[in-house]
Chain A
Amino acid sequence: MAEVFSVDPMVLATILGMGIVTYFTRVAGLVIVRFFTIEGRARAALEAVPAAVLMAVIAPTILATGPAESLAALITLLVAFRLPLWAVVVVGVISVVALRSVFGLF
């Protein structure tokens, strides 16, 4: 059971670092609206951030890995407009398994 409770110092430091930068993002907006007014193109740029970041993270996997991953991403996107998040994940995982076995035949 020792490894269940093992904590590596480097892992702990990484976790604390992630926690600190994440807390900064969580309170930064509070401070900004308290002291600044954001409007116009700056506001539009900030509003584009969530979609832009999420897309950048997954782009190599869904666009530059292979046809199975790209097609599975398209199917996932279509169901994401109708299904809850957990079901979207189930559909994504099942489609990629099916498509990989299909493309694996050639």
Chain B
Amino acid sequence: MSEISGEMPLRESDYIAGIKHIAPLLVAMVPISLVFGGLAAQKGLSPLEVGLMSAVVFAGGSQFVAIDFWASPVPWAAIIFSALLVNVRHILMSASLGLKTRHMGWGKQMIAYMFLADEIWALSEHRGRKQHLSFAFYMGLVTPFYLNWVLMTAFGALLGKMFVDLDPAQYGLDFAFPAIFIGLIVGFWKGKSTAMVLAASGAAAILTKTYVDGAWYIAAGAVAGMLVGAFTADPEEYKGALDRG
């Protein structure tokens, strides 16, 4: 293999390396993808609609929330607004990773960040800490992960159609959402400060949900958690944090 310096359009070795790095996560994603497809089918979405949602949105957390809210007629405003709220975390993730991908240029970054997901982001940050994070490596992470999510969620919906009378609550499948979110929260765990953020968010969400209709409880919890996060932080710790990159 010849070693050519500079940014090649597609460096095969990096692309393969990306695929190898994401491989273990693919296995773990299959049951979650099938559960999502099954739950979406329960709410009346066709397998093609499920596949389209996964292909266009490609953000598991917000898709689970959307299906949780799904009804007939579709409460589209609440669903789109909650997708924005659930995915606000991407702003911080792309801000942080952006320092390691500037060399790609705007064009490639605009393509790459279409596929930014928690797992892709985490593995990219890890790669970028030690070596050059190439576009090829990033797309190597994305390709199988994206195809896996789109195809397996659609397949789950197809299987779900075979069990139309299945009550998700009877098999505890309704608890799959909270369980996934608890797992993700632990991924963001940083000790006591996180606990205080969670307490504020949970309390504000429940109070708001009790007195206000709609998805506003998510915004209320998010704002309460952010305020607690801001005021319990040691400003020195965050000074110039982004420049360390």
A and B held together in a complex: yes
Chain A residues packing against B (C-beta within 8 Å): 3-8, 10-19, 21-30, 32-34, 37-64, 69, 72-73, 76-77, 80-81, 84-86, 88-94, 96-97, 100
Q: State whether A80 touches B182 (Cβ < 8 A).
A: yes
Q: State whether B65 touches A92 (Cβ < 8 A).
A: no
Name which residue of chain A comes closest to B96, CB basis.
A29
Given the complex of chains A and B, what is the CA–CA distance between A41 and B84 in angstroms?
22
Q: State whether B243 touches A86 (Cβ < 8 A).
A: no
List B26-83 residues whose CB lies under 8 Å from chain A.
27-32, 35, 45-49, 52-53, 56-59, 61-63, 65-66, 73-74, 76, 79-80, 82-83
Given the complex of chains A and B, what is the CA–CA distance between A49 and B95 in angstroms?
14
- With A13-B76, A49-B89, A55-B202 in contact, do A26 and B218 touch (Cβ < 8 Å)? no
Q: State whether B225 touches A6 (Cβ < 8 A).
A: no
Across-interface contacts of B220 in A (CB, < 8 A): 56
Q: State whether A88 touches B233 (Cβ < 8 A).
A: no
Count of chain B residues with a beta carbon within 8 Å of a chain A beta carbon:
108
Q: State whether A15 touches B49 (Cβ < 8 A).
A: yes
Scan B174-197; emit 1 where CB is below 8 A from any A CB, else 0.
Answer: 011111111111101100011001
Q: State whether B197 touches A73 (Cβ < 8 A).
A: no
Q: State whether B56 touches A18 (Cβ < 8 A).
A: yes
Given the complex of chains A and B, what is the CA–CA distance between A41 and B62 in angstroms?
27
Given the complex of chains A and B, what is the CA–CA distance between A6 and B198 in angstroms?
40
Q: State whether B226 touches A7 (Cβ < 8 A).
A: no
With beta carbons under 8 angstroms apart, the residue of A14, A40, A47 that contacts B239 is A40
Across-interface contacts of A37 in B (CB, < 8 A): 240, 242-243
Chain B nearest Cβ from A103, distance in angstroms: 13
Name which residue of chain A comes closest to B84, CB basis.
A21
